[in-house]
Each structure stands twice: as C-alpha cells, then as structure tokens.
Amino acid sequence: MQKTLYITSNGRLRRHENTLYFESGEEKRAVDIENIEQIHIFGEVDLNTKALNYISQYGIILHFYNYYGFYSGSFLPRKKNVSGEVVVRQALHYLEREKRLFLAYCFVESAVHHMMRNLRERKEAEAFLTAIEDEWEKGRFAISSVTELMGLEGRIRNIYYQSFNQFLPDDFAIEKREKRPPTNPINALISFGNSLIYSHTLSQIYQTQLDPTISFLHEPSEKRFSLSLDISEIFKPLIVDTVIFKLLNNHQITLEHFDEDLNYCYLNQDGRKIFIKELQTKLETTVRHRQLNRNVSYKGFIRLECYKLIKHFIGDQVYSPLKAWW
C-alpha cells in the first residue's frame, strides 16, 4: 500500500540528485518517494520547481493547509489514468436531471445510514436516532430536486450533531454546526477532519478516470473539486466522526490542544498530530469485503466508490453506495 506523508513542521522540501529531502532546522530527512502516494503539508514549507517536477514524476499529490489547519489547495501532477468516454458519460449524468438526482440521493442515503449506525452504538442518543429515522422516512419519498434533498440532509445533520452532547465530554458541547469559521473546539475538530477526508478522497479520485469537478449532490464549481465533496459525504460519519468520538471520549484530545484567534478556534500543532495519527490508523484499518472476499482498508473503500461510479457511468452496473455492514 502506498503511504501518506504528513508534514506538520516548518521547513523545506528539496531535491538533491535523485533524492527528495525534508529539511527542518538542523534536521534533514530523506523522503521514501517511491512509496508515497500523497503529501499533506501543514507547516510553512518551501519548495521549488526542481522539487515539484521530481514529485510530479512519481505522480505524488500535494495537499496544502492554511495556518488554521484547513484545506487550501492541491498540486495534482499530470493525470495518466484518463478516459474521454468516462468523462463524457459522467457529464451526461450531471446534465440529465433524473440521473443526477439518483446519484445525489445515493450519497445522502449512505451518509444517513452511517450517521444512524454511529448513534445505534450509543444508548444515550436513542431519541436522536429515532428523530433521524422519522425525518428520513418522512422526507426521502417526497424529494423531487437536489435542492430539496440537500435541505433534508441538512435537517438530519442538525439532529445528528445535537446528539453529540449526549455522549461527548461537556467541554465539547455543540450548539450548532459552524464552519466558517469554527468558533469552538468541537466545530474545529469536525472542520479539520472534514478537510482531511476531502483531500484524501480527492487523492483517490485522481487515481481513477473520474473528473473531480463534475459532481451531483454539490453544484460543480470553478473553485473546488466538488465530486470529492459528494463522495466525502459517505465517509465523514464513517471515518471522521468515529475518530472524533474515540479521541474525545478517551481524553486523547482535550481543551489544551486548541488555540483561539479572535473568533477562530483551531487545533494546535500537538492536537493536529494526535488527530492525524488516529485518522491514518483508521484509514489503514481493514475489513473483510463480502463480495471481493479480501481485506479492504477504509482508504480502499473510498477508491472502490470511485470504481463503482465509473461502472455506473459506462452502464456496467447500477451504482449502489457503501453502507457499512460490519
């Protein structure tokens, strides 16, 4: 399995002959470039075109995050796995209203399944689970547009996030979901985790023939890879939220791992390291796949969703989103 490198300190990525180094102060460390799939950069890191060209030769994706630890952008090498036919068919599924609505519904259906899955494991949240089930059953058959679907998904998420107060430490109470900017620790954690799963999903899309800018639930935009947002909906409750629950309930992350800047709350460097380590452990955890009859990592499940979408676009197999059975 190709590895993921996270750089959380300041320094420089530099190529010397046929080796890539990360230099930070007096420390100089060689990067195992042949076995790296993606690099996530959180610190202030310098690199030049010589290093970028070398990184590009190996098809390595760079993801950049701002001072607060939230996603800023990516460097994507020239894509080698391309198919004009797949992209055309992907675009047609966006343009045809019923086909787009079907896929958008699939993403939300999977997300709701995983939200309910999380709450079923917590007796304290039983009333919220019932409320989500009622809202979903009441609303899903009346959906006639993507806008209505997103409204339903938003109402369900509000109920879901309110349930967190039943089983997380009091220091991490949530009143409402705040994204831009997050003003308290729990919102900062959710935003940080969602940024990471967005970029990890983008990395998996890049390895396939899909176009990351053509989406179905979220409106395609010139400023973001909106298909990554679509697919991330499936994995935010399945991966990010379960990591948050574990870290907070085991007191691995506490209030001391957060800083505040005016109305901005964010994880400090120590907190980021703890979160990243746990998230990567989750991504590498494997599950026995029922159809493939082999172990698949959580990261592998993201790639499998991409392949299932391709099969759907070319007419091989109707898309059925992941619904964790384990």
* Positions at the binding site: 153, 218, 233
| Binding residue ranges for Mn(2+) | 153, 218, 233
**Cα end-to-end span (Å), the chain:** 22
Dist. CA 61–CA 36, nearest whole Å: 9
Helix axes 97-120, 84-95, angle to 10 degrees: 90
Dist. CA 206–CA 219, nearest whole Å: 19
DSSP E strand boundaries for 25-114: 27-31, 36-41, 45-46, 61-65, 71-75
At residue 148, the 3 state secondary structure works out as helix
Per-residue burial over 49-68, b if 16 or more Cβ lie within 10 Å, else e, is eebbebbbeebbbbbebeeb
Strand partners for 286: 297
Residue type, 298: Y
HSE-CB at 168 with a 13 A cutoff on CA atoms is: 28
Contact 251, 260 (CB under 8 A): no
Q: Considering Cα of 243, then 245, then 249, then 253, what sign does the dihedral take?
A: positive
HSE-CB at 238 with a 13 A cutoff on CA atoms is: 27
- 170 CB-contact burial (10 Å; exposed 0-12 / middle 13-18 / buried 19+): exposed
Q: Of 73, 298, 314, which is closest to residue 202 (Cα–Cα)? A: 73
Q: Return the structure tokens found at 166.
A: 């039943």
The answer to whether the peptide bond before residue 220 is cis (omega within 30 degrees of 0) is: no
